[in-house]
Amino acid sequence: MNRSSTLVRAARKSASLTQGELAKRTRVHQGNISEIESGRDLSVRTLEKLLSAAGYGLFALPIRKADACEVAGVIRRELRRGNKDAALRALLQLNDNLVSEHGLLRGVLGLSEPAPTGRLEWDAALAGLVAWRLGEERLPLPAWVEYERFFLGHPRTLEIDSADPVPGITDVPREFAERGVLVWEDTFNSV
């Protein structure tokens, strides 16, 4: 999935629009919107048109760090390969990216809803991380971090190493605990 497809899907969902409703507003065929959200290339003009119809604008900011959407793609790929260590490294890199930015730039790194990783606990971990790090600066949270799909019914770990002890709830960042993800807070301390 490319960045423009992620932007269109995130803007449409954030505005609570169906693809059909966005199509009516823009006079872009619903099938084309579906293809765009699946990764089909589109012109900047069409991108601006779709975003505007959902109440968003297109702006450029000087960010050279991977955002939550990009990291979710890396995590998905590594989990499919069975490489949970690499998936964890990607999550930790997002943490470092968020911590290294402040204000608007930090917020932008967590703004767009990531596509599912294929594992609910990893999706919840992404939401917990974004909520935690944006909350540190009292930045507004993107709506997606509160969606039901980012909350687990039963607490669980990321299952990186079966020999690792399960952290107690007081050892877990609050935003992770709320979403049912048991991961040691000190995991996110930069080395």
116 lies in which domain range? 68-188
- 38 and 94 inside one domain: no
- 89 and 172 inside one domain: yes
Q: What pLDDT score does 57 carry?
A: 75
pLDDT for 25 beyond 80: yes
Q: What is the mean pLDDT of residues 123-130?
A: 98
Whole-angstrom distance, CA of residue 152 vs CA of residue 17: 26
Per-residue pLDDT tens for 27-60?
Answer: 999 999 999 888 888 888 888 888 888 887 776 5
| Closest-CA residue to 127 (of 96, 164, 160, 94) | 94
- 75 and 101 inside one domain: yes
Say if 63 falls within a structural domain.
Answer: no
Q: Could you tell me how far CA 52 lies from the centroid of its own chain?
A: 21
| Closest-CA residue to 188 (of 118, 92, 106) | 92
Say if 62 falls within a structural domain.
Answer: no
Per-residue pLDDT tens for 82-124?
Answer: 999 999 999 999 999 999 999 888 998 898 889 899 999 999 9
- 134 and 180 inside one domain: yes
How many independent structural domains does the chain possess?
A: 2
Q: What pLDDT score does 56 carry?
A: 76
CATH number of the domain residue 29 falls in: 1.10.260
- Per DSSP, the three-state class of 181 is strand
Give the DSSP letter of residue 46. Answer: H
Say if 58 falls within a structural domain.
Answer: no
Please report the DSSP string for 151-165 in residue order: S-SS-B---S-TTSP
